[in-house]
Amino acid sequence: MKYLHTMIRVNQLQESIDFYTSVLEMKLVSLTDYPEGEFTLAFVSYGTSKDDPCIELTYNYGKHSYELGNAFGHIALATDDIQRTCENVRRAGGKITREPGPMKHGTTVIAFIEDPNGYKIELIERK
């Protein structure tokens, strides 16, 4: 078994691609439109292909709003300098929803940001 990707539905595809590639510095490794199915799939990754762990951004034609629900938690990303990462996210126009600090009942330093669709992304400092 191998972890491949996590799929999230997005409201505006280009806005989401811009967030993940510009703010989080991921690479767009695949973009495929399926006109007959009325959807487009964009895969972003810190790797170089869809063989690396990815986030699949799914845009369904004409659908511009989703309920996030209460079952999905967050996407987690490791960073070696959480302060610098948060500064870069803020400078790029990203939304920080929890400033860097120790997690509740622990010592691991975390922060939370939010993508344009409202999905939470946890940053975890790993030196």
| Annotated domain spans of the chain | 5-60, 75-125
Give domain 75-125's CATH architecture.
Roll (3.10)
Instruction: Supply the residues annotated as catalytic.
Output: 122
Beta strands in the chain (DSSP E): 5-9, 27-34, 39-45, 54-60, 75-79, 95-102, 109-114, 120-125
- pTM for the predicted model, two decimal places: 0.90
> What topology is assigned to 5-60 in CATH?
2,3-Dihydroxybiphenyl 1,2-Dioxygenase; domain 1 (3.10.180)
Q: From first to last of its 127 residues, what are the pLDDT tens digits of the chain? A: 889 999 999 999 999 999 999 999 999 999 999 999 999 999 999 999 999 999 999 999 999 889 888 888 999 999 999 999 999 999 999 999 999 999 988 899 999 999 999 999 999 999 8
Give the CA distances from residue 119 to residues 2, 5, 70, 107, in Å, rounded to whole numbers and listed in that order: 24, 16, 11, 24
